[in-house]
Structure 1
Amino acid sequence: MGRIRTYEWEDPSISAAAVGRATGLEFLREMQAGRLPGPPIAATLDFSLDEVDEGRAVFSMTPGEEHYNPIGSVHGGVYATLLDSAAGCAVQSTLPPGMGYTSLDLTVKFLKRITADTGRVRAIGTVISRGRQTALAEARLVDTRERLLAHATSSCILFPVPASAT
């Protein structure tokens, strides 16, 4: 029998319009508190921003079979999405008003198989180095026993965000 999963999300242009108006940390805290809508990808994969401080961001999710690849385990793209989110938002948390970022690259090492039996996983992102134009961050994906499931490094480019027309 087929399975059905439904979900909803809010208009992503609302959050996008708020980027750069405050510090990156303030932006992420507004999103975490629900005063800004989260990104649609968080609803699609059912993950959440649990913690954010300057230079650090933590996302979590409980893997389910809706995240599986054809061989019966969580797809590597799900791992990569969590790790990219954690590393990128760790960088974003260090940005002053008027600045934005985007990932230049993401290198992921998959270390352990994840299934629906794994339980809740956390992606913990931290900034390693931040300059004026680039930043380097890492993210670790761990289970509830703090076992390392995957690791990633990410380079991000930093840029001024154009002033909003509103």
Structure 2
Amino acid sequence: MRRSRTFEWSDPAVSAGAIGSHSGLDFLREILAGRLPAPPVAAALGFTLEEAEHGRAVFVLVPGEEHYNPIGSVHGGVFATLLDSAAGCAVQSVLPQGTGYTSLDLTLKFLRPVTVDTGKIRAIGTVLHGGRRTALAQAELRDSEDRLLAQAISSCMLFPVAPR
């Protein structure tokens, strides 16, 4: 049986234009409050930012069939996107106004399969080290029973961003 899904997103230029005008944590709090739009990838995959505090960011997703790979479980790319988002936004949460970041690498370990029966999963990112040019963060993907599903380490490059 065929299935379909429809979603909408906001202009990503709105949030991108606000990066240089906020500290990283204030920027994330603006997204949480709905004053800045979430990124289009969040709408495409159906995940949301649930928490943001200094050095920590949490994203949630309820897995659906649209996330499946051909063998009947959630695709590793979905795991990677959630973990990259959590680690990256944890780094963003410690950045001062006028500083941006981009991921340099992501090392990922898959530990358990995820299906629609898994229920809500959480990607929890935390900063391990912040420097002037790079930062290191980790992220864990956990189920509702706090079982570890996957883990990632990410290094990020930091750079100046001018207010728009």
TM-score w.r.t. the length of structure 1 is 0.98
Runs of 4 or more, structure 1, over 2 Å off, are: none
Aligned-partner SS, 1:83: helix
Aligned-partner SS, 2:13: helix
The one-letter code matched in structure 2 to 1:73 is S
Q: What is the RMSD computed on CA atoms of the aligned residues?
A: 0.6
Aligned-partner SS, 1:117: helix
In 1, Cα distance between equivalents of 2:91 and 2:52: 11
Q: Quote the residue 1:162 is aligned against.
A: 162
Q: Quote the residue 2:113 is aligned against.
A: 113
Q: Quote the residue 2:61 is aligned against.
A: 61
Matched, 1:38 2:38: yes
Q: What displacement does 1:162 show?
A: 2.8
Aligned-partner SS, 1:122: strand
Matched, 1:52 2:52: yes
In 2, Cα distance between equivalents of 1:72 and 1:33: 35
Identity %: 68
1:129-149 CA distance string (max 9 Å, x none): 000000000000000000000
In 2, Cα distance between equivalents of 1:153 and 1:116: 26
- 8 Å Cα contact 2:18-2:163 kept in structure 1: no
1:50-93 CA distance string (max 9 Å, x none): 00000000000000110000010000000000000000000000
- 8 Å Cα contact 2:138-2:153 kept in structure 1: yes
The one-letter code matched in structure 1 to 2:45 is L
Aligned-partner SS, 1:91: helix
- 8 Å Cα contact 2:19-2:163 kept in structure 1: no
In 1, Cα distance between equivalents of 2:37 and 2:117: 30
Q: Quote the residue 1:153 is aligned against.
A: 153
Residues 84-99 of structure 1: matches in 2 within 5 Å?
84-99=84-99
Aligned-partner SS, 1:113: coil
Matched, 1:29 2:29: yes
Aligned residues: 164
Q: Quote the residue 2:128 is aligned against.
A: 128
In 2, Cα distance between equivalents of 1:116 and 1:72: 10
Q: What displacement does 1:22 show?
A: 1.1
Structure 2 residues not aligned, in runs of 5+: none
Q: What displacement does 1:20 show?
A: 1.8
